Structure 1
């Protein structure tokens, strides 16, 4: 099997029901790195049986899992995506295309809901406010700070991201912009997730994520 062009990092917490579909949608040239972040179900075993590289990250938090996956990646490009089947890995080649053409250093998937229930209203509103705030900060108009994104592996490691909670995706964008990276958005389909959300599917989870991101904003202003 030829080396992967993209390593796809999938932070995972109790996603055994979604993983077969997600891993079955991998395009050619993409290797899955499933980061088990304390699952109590058979997520790790399912991922391993389906051919994914499984990394264990005992520190709880999206950023901890995502960064463990980044450290395990060795393909030229690294991508991130939720493991809950809300996003389709088959769309990764479209996101990677601007990087391959030398037109961008970071590409973000702009979520386009496939049904009215795919993106809860409270989460959508919070994202809209955050995207507007980020746009003003970095001088680039962004409409979404969604979890699907692609960058060059070595360049992303060089950003030395520090957040290990929900602020990790935001810190990535802020540090990329500060480093002069060209940031692009590509529309991606966003479907209802399989199972219960741990973050944006609940008001409490959304509030926690907002607090984490506010902290990242404050630290970036120092």
Structure 2
């Protein structure tokens, strides 16, 4: 194996009631990589399913996407880490291409730009919220991104050094903002975005989308204040 295709990577998978999606997701983790499923209070047996399928299971009782992601980052051991949703909307088998951008020196933070595949893959209200936030990010920080998607790759120690504090929906945006402030090279490439398995806990409703946008706007306001 060359360095651009490392065999030791931890894939952080925040999880809340994803029993139906977990088998599909975990069977697509690249060979030699470790799946770190962070259970955020599931009641459908997700932790047991993940453990049975060979994943490392971390329990994070504080509810929140950021809380789950950061717990996974703290539990990770590999130099390289990836983040991916656990609802089968994104294929973990595509992560090596993002990791290769980091190990190859093209980027310090590589993100997957979601490209909807099929009807219902990305609700209009969620897409509109993402577009608005991307524009706000560009206006307030100068970072040129078209998506703030959850699929990403970076080096673990560098991520920890960013000092991320958001534990809600603003975590992915805060990562980008802090990385930009630290002078990181940030790149995005297209990845297919499928209809998720099960009901969305964040952007599946107008209310959830509004809360996510509010969380992320607070992160941007904080960035400007600094």
Above 0.5 in TM-score? yes
Deviation per residue, 1:45-66 (Å, 9 max, x gap): 0000000000000000000000
Q: Which 5+ residue runs of structure 1 have no aligned equivalent? A: none
TM-score between the two structures when normalised by the length of structure 1: 0.97
| Equivalent pair of 1:86/1:193 in contact (CA under 8 Å) | yes
Alignment partner of 1:142 is 2:117: no
Three-state SS of the structure 2 residue aligned to 1:108 is strand
Residue 183 of structure 2: aligned partner: 180
Q: Distance in 2 between matches of 1:35 and 1:185?
A: 25
Alignment partner of 1:89 is 2:92: yes
Q: Distance in 1 between matches of 2:132 and 2:213?
A: 10
| Equivalent pair of 1:4/1:31 in contact (CA under 8 Å) | no
Q: Spell out the pairing of 1:1-222 with structure 2 (5 A cutoff).
A: 4-222=7-225
> Bigger shift: 136-145 or 115-124?
136-145
Q: Distance in 2 between matches of 1:187 and 1:137?
A: 24
CA-CA distance at 1:4 after TM superposition: 4.9
| Equivalent pair of 2:140/2:224 in contact (CA under 8 Å) | no
Three-state SS of the structure 2 residue aligned to 1:221 is helix
Deviation per residue, 1:125-175 (Å, 9 max, x gap): 110111111122332321000010111001001001000000000000000
Q: Distance in 2 between matches of 1:140 and 1:60?
A: 29
Computed over aligned residues only, the root mean square deviation of the Cα atoms, in angstroms, reads: 1.1
Residue 3 of structure 2: aligned partner: none
- Would you say how many aligned residue pairs link Structure 1 and Structure 2? 220
Q: Distance in 2 between matches of 1:120 and 1:51?
A: 32
Q: Distance in 1 between matches of 2:99 and 2:119?
A: 28
| Equivalent pair of 2:140/2:220 in contact (CA under 8 Å) | no
TM-score between the two structures when normalised by the length of structure 2: 0.95
| Equivalent pair of 1:4/1:75 in contact (CA under 8 Å) | no
Three-state SS of the structure 2 residue aligned to 1:145 is coil
| Equivalent pair of 2:122/2:195 in contact (CA under 8 Å) | yes
Three-state SS of the structure 2 residue aligned to 1:40 is coil
Deviation per residue, 1:114-134 (Å, 9 max, x gap): 113100001001101111111
| Equivalent pair of 1:78/1:153 in contact (CA under 8 Å) | yes
